[in-house]
Amino acid sequence: MKAFEATNLYIRKASQLMNLGSRIELLLLSPEAEHNVTVPIELDNGEIAVFSGYRIQHNSARGPMKGGLRYHPTVDPDDVRALASLMTWKTAVVNIPYGGAKGGIACDPKQLSQPEMERLTRKFVQRISMEIGPQRDIPAPDVNTNAQVMAWIMDEYSRLHGYSPAVVTGKPLELHGSEGREAATGRGVIVITEAFINDLGRSMEGVTIAIQGFGNVGSYAAQCAHELGSKIVAVSDVGTSLYNPDGLDIPTLMTFAKTRRPLSEYEGEGVSRITPQELLALDVDVLIPAALGGVFTREVAETVRAKVIVEGANAPTEPEADEIFERRGIVVIPDILANAGGVTVSYFEWVQNIQCLRWAEAEVNERLRTIMTNSYATVRNLVKQRNLSWRTASFVVALGRVAKATVLRGV
């Protein structure tokens, strides 16, 4: 099933449960605008290469649109449309004053030099500069884009429209980024995981965790869980899955990851290599997908043995797999709740930029914890009261907020 179709399935399910009616449902399903642009750049060897870039703006009923920018060979309009829609529901479920959008460029960053990446980013901003803005649509990092890319976006947009740090979030600290933003998504994943584990009457101490993907989200999730005494038994990147049943040495792995080397070059005592399929099928308490979407297919879902899946990645679970998890009693805490920590601290960054002030890291982390635990409690209450899955309950909360805003503003 295509990604956008899968997202729409969840929206329809929640809308029907809430009796929103076909008029509102149609509004909630339809993206507001889709910008498809070509992004030509001069390569270092003097040749011209033309890339496809997208910015899809799903819904602005609750505020300016917000969402990441992804550089990856698999980026296509259907994927970006689905991710834009998920941003609408994510910002609504944590109740921050934004709508949803997403962008991407179909490219392989591994094949591009740093100057080529910069030219690509600046040209993309030139192409969409009338469509984004601090009160219109605010990009942020996603797969293969980082603080440096955000700095180029801020600079290029400011060159065209005047000084505008609030046009993009996830910027370097030296350029009005927020303390705590880099770790925010992974930290939020673990705040939610801890709340769930506490509800089971346990602490995070000794909880076993496997994490697919050791980039921004996966590595900080590992670090935060490690600090709480959990045992991270497996982590992976695109080429290698590391396993140690006694728990991996997360501080050393974090230092290693900062050198940007692949996990295939990592050697540690008691560490063995397993296959990506074996990682997903480990008998652990918590499984955290933190790589790309579409990981849990029907076949993979039958092999999972974790008790709870906390979706660090966006859209890692196909709808057929979701049904299998439900039947097998495996709880899935959905992306729109579990990984909302990133957009929450992006919101804090935007607020700080607009007010020209700076919050300390402890304040950012505390505000993040408050928003994530409140959102968790709202969804959990609905799960319990109406006997819904966590995904359906999260969509019900989010759709309720966006539908109300839509009706109040008028079609």
Q: Which residues are catalytic?
A: 102
Identified binder of ligand NAD from the candidate list 91, 144, 193, 406, rule CB under 6 A = 144
Question: Binding ligand NAD by CB under 6 A: which of 100, 139, 334, 342?
Answer: 342
Q: Does 196 bind ligand NAD (CB under 6 A)?
A: no
Report the nearest approach of ligand NAD to the CB of residue 375 (Å).
14
344 scored as a contact of ligand NAD (CB under 6 A): no
State in angstroms the smallest separation of the CB of 189 from ligand NAD: 9
- Residue 262 main-chain phi, psi, to 5 deg: -70, 155
CB of 279 to ligand NAD, least distance (A): 8
Given 15, 178, 223, 314, the residue binding ligand NAD (CB under 6 A): 314
Q: Minimal distance in Å, beta carbon 373 to ligand NAD?
A: 18
Tokens of 170: 């996830």
What residues form DSSP beta bridges with 68?
140
Of 1-9, 119-127, 308-316, 379-387: span binding ligand NAD (CB under 6 A): 308-316
Q: Is 52 in contact with 39 (CB distance < 8 Å)?
A: yes
Q: Is 214 in the site for ligand NAD (CB under 6 A)?
A: yes
In angstroms, give the least distance from the CB of 381 to ligand NAD. Answer: 24
- Which residue in the set 67, 213, 294, 334 belongs to the binding site for ligand NAD (CB under 6 A)? 213
- Candidate ranges 93-101, 206-214, 222-230, 380-388; the one touching ligand NAD (CB under 6 A): 206-214
**Total binding residues toward ligand NAD, as defined by CB under 6 A:** 24
Handedness of CA 169, 174, 175, 179 (dihedral sign): positive
User: Does 317 engage in binding with ligand NAD (CB under 6 A)?
Assistant: no
CB of 89 to ligand NAD, least distance (A): 13
- Tell me the C-alpha distance between 354 and 368, whole Å: 19
List the one residue from 57, 91, 121, 185 that touches ligand NAD (CB under 6 A): 185
264 forms part of the interface with ligand NAD (CB under 6 A): no
Q: Is 249 an interacting residue with respect to ligand NAD (CB under 6 A)?
A: no
294 binds ligand NAD (CB under 6 A): no
Q: Which of 237, 318, 322, 349 binds ligand NAD (CB under 6 A)?
A: 237
Q: Does residue 103 belong to the site contacting ligand NAD (CB under 6 A)?
A: no
The residue (of 166 and 295) whose beta carbon lies closer to ligand NAD is 295
Binding status of residue 313 toward ligand NAD by CB under 6 A: yes
Phi-psi group of 201: left, alpha or beta (phi > 0 → left; psi -120 to 50 → alpha; rest → beta): left
Q: How far is the CB of 148 from ligand NAD (least distance, A)?
A: 13
With binding defined as CB under 6 A, does residue 394 bind ligand NAD?
A: no
* 392 touching ligand NAD, by CB under 6 A: no
**6 forms part of the interface with ligand NAD (CB under 6 A):** no
Residues that bind ligand NAD (CB under 6 A): 141-144, 185, 212-218, 236-238, 276, 290-292, 312-314, 339, 342
